[in-house]
Every structure is written in C-alpha cells, then in structure tokens.
Amino acid sequence: MAIHLYERDLPDGLDLGPVVAVDTETMGLDPRRDRLCLVQLSAGDGNAHLVKIAKGQTEAPRLTALLADPGCEKLFHFARFDIAALYNAFGMVTRPVFCTKIAAKMVCTFTDRHGLKTLLHEIVGVDISKQQQSSDWGAPELSMAQKEYAASDVLHLHKLRDALEKRLIREDRLDLAQACFDFLPTRAQLDLLGWGEPNDIFHH
C-alpha cells in the first residue's frame, strides 16, 4: 500500500479510473460550520491519494473536476455528509455517487449496525482502526497514524460496493438504491440550508 499526500489539489495527470472511492475529514460534524481539511481517494488498487485542504481554500480545480465528472462514479460511505462538506468548500456538486451506507441499510435489514468498520469486517473480512477518527485534522502536519486512518476509509470501498451491489440485485432493490443515490446531492444541499435534523422537511 502506498499513501500519497498532496497539498491543495490532485497532481496534474493523475488517472484514478472510472470508479473512485472518496472520503473527507473535517473539523467537526456540521458541514455548515466545520471546515473541510482532507479529501481521500482511491482507485481500488491498494493505493490512497490524500489532498490536504488549506484553511480558507475555495478552489481545487483538478479535484473538483474529478468529483463532478459524469463519467466517473464516486463511492462513499455516508455520502450525504461528504457531498455537503465538498459543496460547502468548493461550491460544486459531486455526482454520480454510490453510498455503501445506504446500500447496506437496504439489504442488511437484520441489523442496525451499518458503520464502515462493522461492514468491512463482516462483509469484506477487513479490520480497520477508528482510533484517529476524532483527531485534529486541521493540524499543520498530519501524523502517519492520521494518514493511515484516512487511507483505510477508502482502500476497501470498491470491494464493499461490489458485495452490496450483488445483494441489491438479488433483492430487486438496485433501482430503488440508485434513485436514493441520485437524490443525495439535493439532500446534502437541504442539510446546508438548515433542513437537516430536526427540521427535515420529510418528517411530519
């Protein structure tokens, strides 16, 4: 496994293929308030590419071109949050997407445990550490432990997506899942405008 760290944007000429796993690290859990600090990507080849986002940065041309590319599917776990964080930072909509959390909730209805660590262990057979989850992602320099944690969130998403997609097909829920994925950019923008919990317009 190789972890590549870049400042402010992806390098020119980097090709991550037609399906890219994506994750973000922020200063907190409110994308309206807590700034984007890091974007992680993987082509599913065992390598991770981390882009460190500077405080106040509003542009990352090569990164945002990839995230908005209609010919490249972006894999997330809990895409709703990441899409909102990316939109709040750069003003662009990430699509098309596949969310492994939504997929898992639609086909793993025998449990309420749909966190990435649990799903990777039970479906892919991989154990990842969540020890650095709440560390300081805005620090001037990231530790090796932080980089390894950030990489682990994207390195196995391709395998998880493939396994969940097979289950969605088997249970005749792939079209419904796709409709949910297509709605996620709108859901993220509603969150940014204040219509998340407890003001969700889809609640009674």
Domain boundaries, the chain: 3-192
pLDDT at 197: 87
Residue positions counted in the chain: 204
pLDDT at 127: 87
**d(Cα 157, Cα 175) in Å, to the nearest integer?**
20
**d(Cα 91, Cα 64) in Å, to the nearest integer?**
9
Q: Is 55 exposed, middle or buried (0-12, 13-18, 19+ CB in 10 A)?
A: exposed
- pLDDT, one tens digit per residue, over 103-159 is 999 999 998 889 999 999 999 999 887 766 678 999 999 999 999 999 999 999 999
**d(Cα 4, Cα 104) in Å, to the nearest integer?**
29
Start-end of H helices in the chain: 61-68, 79-90, 100-107, 116-119, 144-155, 157-170, 174-192
CATH of 3-192, one of 1.20.272.10, 3.30.420.10, 3.30.750.24, 3.30.980.10: 3.30.420.10
pLDDT at 133: 67
Query: Which whole number is the average pLDDT over 82-93?
Result: 98
Please determine, for residue 43, whether its predicted confidence score (pLDDT) is greater than 70.
yes
Please determine, for residue 57, whether its predicted confidence score (pLDDT) is greater than 80.
yes
